[in-house]
């Protein structure tokens, strides 16, 4: 499903670079570059990808009620 809302700067850059790569691939007859350009255009149109932190792993939440464990150290001679 295409998400055509919330267009940001990075999304516009992704679309323009993808279209530029697609145009260049058609002119130079390079199908691999066409695939890469097509993927960038699809990412921009569907607002997918890791740009903008969409693929980031959420930080682990620390429980406030959990007591802090004391660590005992032994000195070795």
Q: Mean pLDDT per 10-residue run, the chain (77 residues)?
A: 70 89 93 92 80 58 70 85
Tell me what pLDDT residue 64 has. 66
Q: Where are the domains of the chain?
A: 9-46
* pTM of full prediction above 0.85: no
DSSP string, 23-68: HHHHHHT-HHHHHHHHHHHHHHHHT-SSTTSTTPPPPPPPPSSSPP
């Amino acid at each position: 499903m295409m998400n055509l809302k919330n267009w940001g700067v990075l999304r516009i850059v992704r679309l323009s670079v993808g279209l530029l790569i697609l145009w260049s691939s058609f002119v130079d007859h390079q199908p691999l570059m066409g695939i890469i350009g097509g993927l960038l255009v699809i990412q921009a149109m569907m607002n997918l990808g890791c740009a903008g932190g969409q693929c980031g792993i959420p930080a682990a939440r620390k429980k406030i009620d959990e007591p802090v464990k004391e660590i005992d150290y032994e000195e070795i001679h």
